[in-house]
Structure 1
Amino acid sequence: MAAYGRGAGVAGREDLPVLLVAVLLAAAACSIAQAQQQPVYTSIYDVISNRSDLSTMKRLVDGLGLANQLTSGTFTAFLPDNNAWAQAFTAAGVTEAQMLTTYRDPATTLVNFHLVSRFTTIVNGSIYNNALKISDLAVNSTRSYDTEAGRADSDYGLALTRAGNDTDGAGGVQVMGRSGPPALIAANQSDIAAGLSYCNVISAVARFWFDTYFDIITKSSVTASSASFAGLVAAGGQQQWLKDTTLTGTLFAPDNAAIAKVQADLKLNFSTALSQQDAADLVRYHMTDVPFNRSAPVNPVATKLKDATLTWNGGQFLSVAGTLGRPSNNVRWVGFPRSASVVPLLDAALLPLPSTAWKLVVAKSAAAGASASSGFSSFIKAMEAQMVVRYQMDDTSKVVTVYAPTDAAFARLESYTGKPFASLASAIKDQIVSMHVTQGAAYTPSGLLTATPLDTMAGSRTLNVTRASNSAAGVQLSGGQTPRGAAAIVASDNVMYGRSIVHTLDQVLIPAGVVLPQGGGGAAGVASAPSGWALLLLVALAVCVQRWALAAA
């Protein structure tokens, strides 16, 4: 037994090389068989041309003229299978034939949206341009990658999320566009080599469009720059309207700087100066009634605000009020096909109506709150009692210049008279209020100097304008008399870009010849009623003159 066992052991050792060679040969044969089973692809186009589950993708590529791009280009391709395309056509309400005819441009963008551009890496000082491999994605990572449709920071990037070790299948990498469900890479269908490119077969079409206008305002790369406009949307109660998936048209969303410019020019804050209806009107005025084609505009351009239009003028919109807004070239799409979109608007927001001097005064007073130095509540109350002048200020067809005294100015006047302005005789109040409006032109401070004297709405009474170093505008006004000399202009505001102008005054203008009661010890220079002693002296003098005349006769 011992001899048998020993002999067998020696024989076994001698046979080891033979067995090892056999194993190696078998493994090599298996590898060759597997290699023969796995086709070698030369390009992305080669992949879609030789797989029946990607036949829809091939027809689209051929019909859109993209075969050469997918043959010679280097990308990481995410290829929706036939079932994914069928579901996408149904959801978008289009057919494959329409994608190749009516909607060729968006269809081309859609195909390009599935091609991640190769990216540059630097290793030891050497520059490499490589296609992305899914297996190289870090675990527990999410990142958006530029595509052939556009840059990731312009909302044309594909977002890839890898949660675990798997790259494909149910627990694999998720591919996400701007809307819709995420797509998964089919099992064993990631990092398919295709020349220098890599292909991944996915279960859904990634969408480059958003579901609603509201999503773009609040969930896109323009969200931060559109924060002021989003505030107007909320103030006007237009959130649900912009979430309506049936809404169409082009929304030109002014960026923060465009809104800030208009607010600075008008010296008011939309958030405090506009009513809910005003804010709603402003939002709707920024959306065209139908999709806007800037290459073939038809003026006037109808908007979602009834009876309010825009004029396309040399690459920018001209609003009714005279503001000029310039659309950017960065378009975000709502739904497919391209019947709805959002375009950032630069330079200035669009104002829907040639607002009036009256509305500006009211809005500025509301924004000032309790500030006596900038509010106009006293002036507004005085104007409300003088309807003729107020109507002129609130008529969009009229061009006026308004000289609005602040609440502090009215307080000085009331300190002089010792009684509220409202208690003065109606004739006196009417003449004073009418003194603060001139018609026919919107005078800037410098324009006032050249136009003086100015006819006012107080009949024949005029305003005289002179230079003044103590005025912010460099000029002062005199209407004949004021409790403390001439009134200085402390601020000037254009009403909707120059149609009318409102100047803020530090004193109330008093027409010459108007006699004010003096009960507060005011300064000299304001005409007051003769005292009782003065009247007795005048009567006595008249009697003496009459007697002298009779004696002489």
Structure 2
Amino acid sequence: MKALIKIMLVSTLALLAACSDDDNEVVVTPPPENSVYDAAKAAGSFNTLVAAIDAAGLTATLDNTDNTFTVFAPTDAAFAALGEDTINSLLADPDTLSKILTYHVLDSKVAAEAALNLAGQTTTTVNGAKLALSLSGDNLLINTATVTQTDIMTDNGIIHVIDAVLMPPSTATSTANIAEVATQAGNFTTLLKAVETAGLSGALTGGDDLTVFAPTDAAFAALGTKTINTLLANPDVLGSILKQHIVAGKVDSVTAMSLNGKTATTLEQNQQSVAIDAATDMLKFAGVTVTQTDIPASNGVIHVLDAVVVGNISVPESLGLIPEVAAGAGSFNTLLNLVTATGLDATLGDPTTKFTVFAPTDAAFAALGQDTLDALAADTDKLKDILLYHVVAGQSVMSDAAAGIAASADNMVAMANTDKSALSIVDSMLFINDAVIRTANVQADNGVIHVLDKVIMPPMDKMATEKTIVDVAMETDDLSTLVTALGAANLVDTLSDTSKQFTVFAPTNRAFQKIPADTLNALLADQAGLTQVLTQHVLGLEASSSLAFSLNGKQVETLATNMLDLKVVDFVATANTDNDMVAYDATNQRLVSGNGAAVAGKTLYVFDDDLTFANSQCVDACATNWPPVIATQEQIANIPGLSLIARLDGSMQAAYLGRPLYMFAQDTNPGDAMGQGVGGKWWQVSLPTSGLQVEGSNITQVDIYTANGVVHLIDTVITTVN
């Protein structure tokens, strides 16, 4: 082997010597330069790129081997995806084209291995803008474009092939803050309303830089109206959802792209994913597509989302807004029609404001009578005032809270019409004014509904007047007997004194007529006795109906120094056992025969001819056509105000507030009321579902204001008190 090596060495030396003796020189031609421009042109798959380089005047730059570049080179297919019109437009605009092309170029040589090490970061291009490098599985991404081939070496750099054309990020600026920019855009109305409702407006108008991933109106609409309203009605939950759309600091789209596969910390202090969708090459935040990026603001940047990020935030069940809940109940049609007629449907349908609605049922409105309803419909201002008197604005007052108010020293509540109503509680029954809350805590997204079977009326405004209590009584035909009695008792001067304030529970003429004529005449002739009776109808202060309602279940002291009971009587709650001869018909709001009668549910009547008499004037044939309600004391214990009077035959007849009760023979079926108004003397006993009584007498009209107090009319003379 060693001999063979020596032979080869000698031969080589001899050959070299022979060459050195030859006079002809051998010229070695260096290989041609291969710039990034040359390589792109020779490849055959970058024809559009090469044409663009030429059109932009960058040929000499990229062909200069004294420079070093890294070029992320879009293929012809990548350019074709832009569309022919776009390509032609760019080729005709060298400045814009140059900015785009130089955004694909780095001023140093970055091989694939080094690029992989830069994943998760940004790097600066020749045009001064940043590029994002990230990994999607095993693929290297430049912004959202995938690198399909790496490390094509040239004399002045390196080429990596990408499947999309990169567009430089916007360099626009704005002097408007985020909220102002969103407002000007016009498609973030719901977002801005939500931000205001959640109390986040200050953040979007403040000086600290923020990045807002902003869902459009269409994105919110995709949640559905009920869900949006539920969120607007729950500002804490809404705020948590909104804050997970906001990242502290200014995060432009390129920086966001560099976070591909990672998470960002939101103002809600949770982590939301940032990713580039491999199928669409679109940036995603929390799994939601970013449809527009880099909308500048003076205090940050906006990126547009096509959906709302709810994530793990628990959204309350959508109950519906107050009008929707009321409509679903099916028993508030009249209320809803009136609310719509006054334009209050929009108010009560505002998900950003809480309301407490004391809602009268259809039956409650029907009890007002069609004439009253028609008059209200024609006077929308008055109607609106009445409706708002059923609303507490700005809060949801649940029944427990209402009961707490009712039991407090100040049980008056300001209503939406600025008047006050009274909450009271007696025997575990909750009242507002003289109405019973039948069903409480019907919840809606923006408040709560409490069901009433009675319409409550706002208190009358006290108007300036010089007329005294006596003046008003003298002008009121139905108080003529009271005026006579005041004169007989020498109380005219007392109740004409304008230096004092009084409340008079004034018995009407018919109330006096319930007293037998002989008894009444004797009373009018007894000044001391009459004075005692009349002064126990008078309080030494002005007590409006609202104050009277607030005193439900309590006592008040009169000028006679005795105490009167004030109580809202709930007729609906009265019993109707198999022993009761009289009952209350809540549907028709009147007294009827009870379950103890031969036929239950028959309408009961009173007879005007009985007035001024101590007993029934309906006997013989009259009693055949108008059978009296015969009862024992035990059979009339269920309803306040029932008593017994003796008939001429010795039987005991049920009476209501002193007036004997009858049925009508021609009322063949329960619910019939054929006897109403017969002869102008027979009347059904109509009673509201609930009403305020003073010492057992029904208050039939309230708040007749005078220069020295207020008058409330009552239907029975108070003759016996504690």
- TM-score w.r.t. the length of structure 1 is 0.38
**Which is higher, the Rg of structure 1 or of structure 2?**
2
- Richer in helix (by share): 1
